[in-house]
Structure 1
Amino acid sequence: MGIKQQLGMGVTTAVLGLTLIGGGTFAYFSDSSVTNNTFAAGTLDLDAEPTTVIDVDNLKPGDSMIRDFELQNNGSLAIDTVTLDTDYNVIDVEGNNTEDFGDFIEVEFLYNANNLDEVIYQTTLSELEDMSPEAISQHIFYPELGDDGLPVGESHDLVVAFNFLGDVDADLNQFQGDSLELEWTFTATQMEGEQR
């Protein structure tokens, strides 16, 4: 490499060094601001009071029992729909049942305790167990809750009549001493999300 090239490289290096030093001392104005944001999810809390709707013994064909209970919205979000899932277990003490005890327990969902003849929906426990929760909601809860659902802090009274059907064509003696354990699971869904 010739002397001119070495001198040229030296000058270029010196100019580059001065540029970096000069650029390092040049500054812009700046400012910053911090925002604090929170996303807090609401709660969906459906309660049934009392938790034991019915507990009877010594039933006989033709008996009828009326019970009422409350569905309560104890959460911070409005409830849009309520569904019901039915599950029951028959305890056949003699082991002689040829029919389902649930076929002979009729369930009537009533509008209120003052007008017991106003039936919202009528079915048997066995049919209720086979229905989808959405179909049950449409038949039982929608007529009362409607499009408004169950607002926060409110409750809905549910009145139910249980009837031990006395079918004369059936051998009801097979159910003597038997019992039926019923479990109802109520499930709430939220209202649709909205622009906020």
Structure 2
Amino acid sequence: MGMKKKLGMSVVTASLGLSLIGGGTFAYFSDTETTNNTFAAGTLDLSVDPQKIIDISNLKPGDTMVREFKLTNDGSLKIDTVNLLTDYTLVDAQGDNGSADLGKHIRVNFLFNWDKESEPVFQTTLHELKNMDPDIVQKEVWDPLWEQKGGLTTGTMNELWVEFEFVDNGEDQNVFQGDQLEVEWKFNATQGEGAEK
């Protein structure tokens, strides 16, 4: 074979080798597995029963009203804290209240149960409750109630009693005749710290 022929064969062989390396196929074993994963967030769902804790008329100084309400965890996560936010609007029937605030004369007593010997676990006025840090009730009322449970677990319920008292201060309170307080209680539930799953 001539030199030109040998050189030509070498070039063809080299080209064929390069094409196999660059674009050729290789046979090997393989196996594929697929996992289907889910991240589902839990729910916080606090319910209060009844929705209207108190609706009373014809109050006079010295009257007391005891009402029961239930806090229930209807969600899938444990409720760690419940803050109580209080707001109210005074409807001044006579328009002569000036700076007098009926909320300062309504005492709120939180009770764990109701009987004749029941002592309030926390006592304040509507006015003070409206202006205090909302986690005060958590620390003073819910924490002792949930001390053993560490919160309100899923599907559980706690009964609480609250006593409202129109305090008779022994002075002229005529300025409050016909007045009305529209009170909003907002219960704000929060979860505990995250945990390793």
In the superposition, the TM-score normalised over structure 2's length comes to 0.88
Counterparts of 1:17-96 in structure 2, within 5 Å, are 17-21=16-20, 24-96=24-96
Distance (Å, rounded) in 2 between the aligned partners of 1:66 and 1:106: 12
Identity %: 47
Q: Is 1:189 the counterpart of 2:190 in the alignment?
A: yes
Within 2, Cα distance between the matches of 1:15 and 1:115? 105
Q: Provide the residue aligned with 1:165 in structure 2.
A: 167
State the 1:8 CA deviation: 8.1
Deviation at 1:29, TM superposition (A): 2.0
Single out whichever of 68-77 and 16-25 deviates more from structure 2.
Answer: 16-25
Post-superposition shift, 1:81? 0.9
Cα RMSD for the two superposed structures: 2.2
The gaps in structure 2 that reach 5 residues or longer are 1-5
The structure-2 alpha-carbon separation of the partners of 1:126 and 1:165, relative to structure 1 and needing over 3 Å to count, comes to same
Pairing of 1:134-145 with structure 2 (within 5 A): 134-145=135-146
1:136 deviates by 2.1
Task: Determine if contact 1:120/1:143 at 8 Å carries over to the other structure.
Answer: no
For the residues of structure 1 that align with 2:33 and 2:157, how far apart are their CA atoms? 46
* CA distance in 1: counterparts of 2:119 and 2:94, whole angstroms: 38
**CA apart distance, 1:11:** 5.5
Compute the displacement of 1:90 (Å).
0.5
How far off its partner does 1:140 sit?
1.8
**Partner SS, residue 35 of structure 1:** coil
Structure 1 contact 67–161 (Cα < 8 Å) conserved: yes
**Between Structure 1 and Structure 2, which shows a larger proportion of strand residues?**
1
Which range moved further: 113-122 or 155-164? 113-122
C-alpha distance in 1 between matches for 2:119 and 2:8: 103
* Residues 47-101 of structure 1: CA deviation (Å, up to 9, x unaligned): 0001010000000000000001100011111111111000000000111003111
Aligned residues: 190
Flag the 1:84–1:12 CA change in 2: closer, same or farther, 3 A: farther
Deviating beyond 3 angstroms after TM superposition, the runs of 4 or more aligned structure 1 residues are: 7-14
Q: Calculate the TM-score normalised by the size of structure 1.
A: 0.89
What residue in structure 2 maps to residue 4 of structure 1? none
Structure with bigger helix share is 1
Amino acid corresponding to residue 88 of structure 1 in structure 2: Y
